[in-house]
Amino acid sequence: MPSELDAALNSAIDRLTAPGGPLETARGERHGQAVPLIATAPPTLPALFARFCAEHGDKDFLVDGERRLTFAAAHAGARRLAGALVSAHGVKRGDRVGIAARNSANWVLAQMAVLMAGGCATLLNGWWVGEELAEGIALAGCKLVLADAPRAERLAGQPHPARLVVFGHENDGFDALLAGADENAALPELDGGDLATMLFTSGSTGKSKGACSDHLGVVQAVMNYAAQTLMVLTVKTEQGDPPVGQPCALVNVPLFHVTGEVPLYLQSFVIGRKLVMMAKWDPVEAMRLIEREKVTYFVGVPLMSMALAEHPRRHEFDLTSCVTFAAGGAPRPVDHVARIRAALPHGFPVLGYGLTETNAVGCGNFNENYLAKPGSTGPASRPLVEIAAFDEAGRRLPRGETGEIGIRSICNFVGYWNDPEATAAALTPEGFVRTGDLGYLDPDGYLFIVDRKKDLIIRGGENIASLEVEAALYAHPAVTEASVFGLPSRTYGEVPVAVWLARPGAAVTEEDLRAFLAEHLAAFKVPVWLWRETGALPRLGTEKVDKRALRERYLEGWDPDAV
């Protein structure tokens, strides 16, 4: 039976989306299917920026160290940069413009400016090594890349087609971009079908793909998240517990990931939320900022919430402003839910589930409902999302039966850049994005994920394709066989490990291999353990390495608390 909270939430969203309501819905189209959309939404991201930066005006928007920018100031700064991109750097409608930098106020201004200039904001993974960055730039065909100094240094000597403009994270960090520019240059008129963003995702093949979304899809995803937020706030207000003061979120997840980009950063324009930047994760600094800035919303991979809940110094800080502890990007262990609630009783843990290809929309599990069903990612996020499970033949399954989960909405991506085959494989004939996750819907419509179909490792929210790591291992001349798989970690969810066999007579050590991998892979992809085998790896009848047998062998005696 649906809970009392479910009934209240559904009643609230019904009223918000009804004809004449602030989130009135209509019908749109995505991948040949009729789907709902929020009719009151702005048509493009620049229109969204203009509307809500004017509405929230003098409220604080970005806090980065001692630097503060209001919504109005951020919009004015981005407008200057957009004029420079058009007049001095030749950015035209549809050009892919890369951004390679750590989180900062200037990352936000750069992304806003690229979109206002008509470009497709190509969000390069800031943790990539130079080789990976160059591959992403080449794949997207970027004509221009805005990079901070560390990322620019990694790219030095790497072949790629883009012109590089380096920016800093301080007030005058865009001097090089603005030099000789007409900051008031006319900007292009865009519509919902223009490309807005490209984010990179690693599938089980190990080859990065550029997931492209148009303005319609991203804006609708932002508004769907805002609808969920407004739904919860409506219920809290009706229960006599209205929100007090300006909403405020701590930004400690990367903005180049969809979790950081859509529900955290872009949604903040709509709800007038202040964003407090952290250059790198540190639990003590996080608690200091929560107290100083009166942070109301905390989001991160599951380990981050637990780091606050169990930190020995948490009683030194007033954390009572923070009423929501959200997790996304990786499964949250079931036991974390009750432990977070017990340690931080002024707030509730919540969970979201979505993909890069869905612009992060999918499911959400809130407050008392999450405590009641801690193993679930929640029901489909209203008003735009539909969730279904499919069998191997592509038939939709009834509730209670396990199959591959699909997500359908107007928010879904357009496709992978220059990869129609991968795009077709990612979609069902009915326009659902195939998640690669196996799960079922319970009688109340709550989604439970039980396994993954794809050979993918998720380490603290970062997707790692085992095939990519295996390819890097095989590139070492001393390695003749290798297999990479995930093992459980209480901190990261799971971590990559590798088993390898050396060529006869080869003199190579684990340290040699680790150093070799670090030259070609981002640090989070490098296996935490590299076990050397002395005989041939076990094989299946197809002659593929029997990864399941290896995993079971090394799982014996494995300590999830070791990493």
Amino acid identity for residue 441 in this structure: L
Report which of 248, 442, 268 is spatially closest to residue 363, judged by C-alpha positions: 442
pLDDT of residue 471: 82
Burial class from Cβ neighbours inside 10 Å (0-12, 13-18, 19+) for residue 25 reads buried
Q: What distance in Å separates the CA atoms of residue 503 and residue 480, rounded to the nearest whole number? A: 5
Q: What percent of the chain has pLDDT over 70?
A: 97
* Better-scored residue on pLDDT, 533 or 198: 198
Token pair 């202040």 in the structure block, residue: 274
Cα angle for residues 195, 267, 214 (degrees, 5° grid): 10
pLDDT digits (tens, 9 = 90+) for 409-461: 999 999 999 999 999 999 999 999 999 998 999 999 999 988 777 777 888 87
What is the pLDDT, as a whole number, of residue 193?
A: 98
Mean pLDDT of 457-467: 83
* Predicted local confidence at residue 283, as pLDDT: 93
Torsion angles phi and psi, residue 328, rounded to 5:
-155, 165
> Euclidean distance between the first and final Cα of the chain, in Å?
40
Give the rounded percent of residues in the chain with a pLDDT score beyond 90.
71
For 52, the enclosing helix (H) or strand (E) is: helix 45-56
User: Which span out of 180-189, 342-351, 469-478, 538-547 was modeled with the highest average pLDDT?
Assistant: 180-189
Per-residue confidence (pLDDT) for residue 247, from 0 to 100: 97
Q: Which range among 175-179, 299-303, 444-448 shows the weakest confidence by mean pLDDT?
A: 299-303
Contacts of 263 (CB under 8 A, 6+ apart): 225, 299, 328, 352, 360
pLDDT above 90 for 538: no
Least confident of 106-110, 333-337, 377-381: 333-337
Task: Check: CB of residue 203 under 8 Å from CB of residue 454.
Answer: yes
User: Taking 70 as the threshold, does the pLDDT of residue 293 lie above it?
Assistant: yes
Question: Is residue 205 very low, low, confident or very high in pLDDT (cuts 50, 70, 90)?
Answer: low
132 pLDDT higher than 70: yes
Q: What is residue 146's predicted lDDT score, i.e. its pLDDT?
A: 98
**Res 41 pLDDT > 70:** yes
Give the CA radius of gyration of the chain: 23
Q: Does the structure show a pLDDT above 60 at 207? A: yes
State how far the Cα of 22 lies from the Cα of 380, in Å rounded to an integer. 21
Give 1's pLDDT tier (boundaries 50, 70, 90): low
Whether the per-residue pLDDT at 279 is higher than 90: the answer is no
Query: Please, are residues 107 and 277 in contact by the beta-carbon 8 Å criterion?
Result: no
Q: Which residues contact 373 (CB under 8 A, 6 or more apart)?
A: 365, 442, 446
Predicted confidence band at 557 (pLDDT cuts at 50, 70, 90)? Answer: confident
Q: Does residue 535 have a pLDDT over 90?
A: no
Comparing 321 with 555, which gets the higher pLDDT? Answer: 321
Q: Is the pLDDT reported for residue 542 higher than 60?
A: no
What pLDDT is stored for residue 349 in this prediction? Answer: 87
Query: Exposure of 505 by Cβ count < 10 A (0-12 exposed, 13-18 middle, 19+ buried)?
Result: exposed
Average pLDDT over residues 88-115: 98
Asked if pLDDT for residue 24 goes beyond 90, the answer is yes
Lowest mean pLDDT among 167-181, 194-208, 291-305: 194-208
Alpha-carbon distance 481 to 150, whole Å? 35
For residues 36 and 347, which has the higher predicted lDDT (pLDDT)? 36
pLDDT on residue 451: 74
Cβ density class 298-319: b for 16+ within 10 Å, e for less: bbbbbbbbbbbbebeebeebeb
Q: In this model, does residue 563 exceed pLDDT 90?
A: no
Q: Is residue 541 very low, low, confident or very high in pLDDT (cuts 50, 70, 90)?
A: low
Question: Minimum mean pLDDT among 232-236, 319-323, 329-333: which range?
Answer: 329-333
Mean pLDDT of the chain: 92
Torsion of CA 345, 283, 173, 257, to 10 degrees: -70
Least confident of 9-13, 262-266, 558-562: 558-562
Does residue 507 have a pLDDT over 80?
yes
The token duo for 125 is 């993974």
pTM (whole model) above 0.85 = yes
> 152 pLDDT exceeds 80?
yes
Q: What is the average per-residue pLDDT within 167-176?
A: 96
Q: Are 495 and 365 within 8 A, CB to CB?
A: no
Question: What tens digit of pLDDT does each residue of 216-264 get?
Answer: 999 999 999 999 999 999 999 999 988 889 999 999 889 999 999 999 9
Per-residue pLDDT, 203: 56
